[in-house]
Amino acid sequence: MPLSNLRPCKVLIAGGGISGLTLALSLEKHGVDYLLLEAYPDLAPRRGGGILVMPNGARILDQLGCYEDLYQRAGGSGVSRLYLRGPDGQVLATVDHTDKDLTERHGYPNIWVDRHHLLRTLHDHIADKSRILPNKRITTVHHLPDGVEITTADGSTYRGDILVGADGTHSTVRQAIVSRATALGLGKEYSEEEQIPSTYDCIFGLSSYHPGLAQEGEESTLQFILGDHQSYIVGTSGPTNRSWWFLFLNRGAIHHGAEIPKYDAADKARVLRAHASDQLTPTVTLADLMSAGPAETVYTPLREWVYSRWHLGRMGVVGDAAHKMTTVLGQGGNQAIESVAALTNSLVKGLANGGTGRMTGDEIEAMFEEMQVLRAPRARDMMEASGKKQRADAMETPELKHFSMHVFPKIIALGTFRRWKQYLAGAVSLRGLPIPYRKRVVPFDDEVERATEGLGRVEAKL
CA distance 341 to 357: 24
Q: What is the pLDDT of residues 324-341, one digit of tens each?
A: 999 999 999 999 999 999
The reported pLDDT for the residue numbered 214 is 83
**Looking at 27-154, which runs of residues are DSSP E strands?**
33-37, 50-53, 81-85, 91-96, 111-114, 132-133, 138-144, 147-152
Q: What is the pLDDT of residues 38-71, one digit of tens each?
A: 999 987 666 668 999 999 999 999 999 999 999 9
Query: How confident is the prediction for the chain on average, in pLDDT?
Result: 93
How many independent structural domains does the chain possess? 1
Q: What is the pLDDT of residues 116-167, one digit of tens each?
A: 999 999 999 999 999 999 999 999 999 998 999 999 999 999 999 999 999 9
Amino acid at 400: L
Residue 367 forms part of a structural domain: yes
User: Among residues 144, 145, 175, 139, which one has the least CA distance to residue 157?
Assistant: 139
Rounded mean pLDDT, 188-212: 95
- Under a CB-based contact definition with an 8 Å cutoff, are residues 104 and 73 in contact? no
pTM of structure = 0.95
Residue 109 forms part of a structural domain: yes
The reported pLDDT for the residue numbered 457 is 42
Residue 355 forms part of a structural domain: yes
The reported pLDDT for the residue numbered 451 is 74
CATH code, domain carrying 160: 3.50.50.60
- Under a CB-based contact definition with an 8 Å cutoff, are residues 198 and 304 in contact? yes
Give the helix/strand (H/E) hosting 329: none
CA distance 7 to 355: 7
Residue 68 forms part of a structural domain: yes
Q: What is the pLDDT of residues 384-420, one digit of tens each?
A: 999 999 999 999 999 999 999 999 999 999 899 999 9
Residue 204 forms part of a structural domain: no
Q: Does residue 450 register a pLDDT over 90?
A: no
Residue 380 forms part of a structural domain: yes
Rounded mean pLDDT, 68-92: 96
- Under a CB-based contact definition with an 8 Å cutoff, are residues 243 and 234 in contact? yes
In terms of residue numbers, what domain contains 133?
A: 10-194+305-454
CA distance 130 to 219: 38
Residue 300 forms part of a structural domain: no
Residue 378 forms part of a structural domain: yes
CA distance 74 to 97: 17
Q: How deeply is 283 buried, as exposed, middle or buried, from its count of CB atoms within 10 A (0-12, 13-18, 19+)? A: exposed
